[in-house]
Amino acid sequence: MGEPVPAGGALSGRSGADPAGPAGSGRTVARRPRPPRVALLEDQLAVAQALALLLTGTPGLDFVGHAATEPALADLLEQTPADVLMIDDDLDGADGVEIGDRVLRRWPGTRLVMLAAATDETRLAAAIRIGAVGWVTKTAEPAALIAIVHGAHRDETHMPPAALTGALRRIAGEPGPDAPPGGDALTRLTPRERDVLQEMLRGRSRADIAGRLGMSPNTVRTHVQNILRALNVDSAAAAVALARRIGRPATERSGDGPR
């Protein structure tokens, strides 16, 4: 799975009719629009195979292949740039949103759709920030997934309505780049972000925080990034130092009891 796996002859829409029509007919046949090229980054073999089968067998899509790692994806896109790219949000040992950000910087014409086990407002907000146009869960009906792929190619945005409002609130509540550090920043943190900051103040690693709070390491990473933005600092160490200076999160103060 370390190398991109091509779609194996599934490049539907590449056969194409002769635009001049049959020889000697004197007629011009309109060329059909090229179907959108779709690529996939997925490190779970069973999921990748199921999606490849679906995308390959769908008329009007040109599935160009899938990769299991970021380097393999880069090789695939170098060979055949994709119109729509689907990336698993929770790759093993990698952050799908961060990979998507790097891909969009290198291939800005690509439409990014994030594939996730579930919908999480924090991760959705992170995906929106980097320019993703779609979010779909792995349990979605095949027809819904295909509709999102086609919509992404048409420059439509497809995000889960139930989580979109919360994700946009998170984005809208972020301070601007010129905002001073601290201030009322702690009050802007969500309850989950305050939980993460509390564990950071206790000196725990991201892996430990993930285990204690029952979330994935990627979600912890996103919460930390949100905390850094809210406090307008550049590192976790600076966030901890600033939080200690301006006051610990309300969740920790309330849990400490009378002093």
Q: What pLDDT is stored for residue 186 in this prediction?
A: 74
Give the largest CA-CA distance in the chain: 95
**Geometric angle at alpha carbon 67, from 65 and 70, rounded to 5°:** 135
Q: What pLDDT is stored for residue 17 in this prediction?
A: 39
Give dist(CA 58, CA 46) in Å, integer: 19
Extract the residue ranges of the chain whose pLDDT is less than 50: 1-20, 250-259
What sign for the dihedral angle of Cα 101, 174, 163, 148?
negative
Answer for the pair 232, 180: CB distance below 8 angstroms, yes or no.
yes
Q: What pLDDT is stored for residue 254 in this prediction?
A: 43
Q: What pLDDT is stored for residue 103 in this prediction?
A: 96
Q: What pLDDT is stored for residue 116 in this prediction?
A: 93
Give dist(CA 52, CA 244) in Å, integer: 50
Domains and CATH numbers, the chain: 37-168 (3.40.50.2300), 178-255 (1.10.10.10)
Q: What pLDDT is stored for residue 150 in this prediction?
A: 95
Predicted TM-score of the model (pTM):
0.63
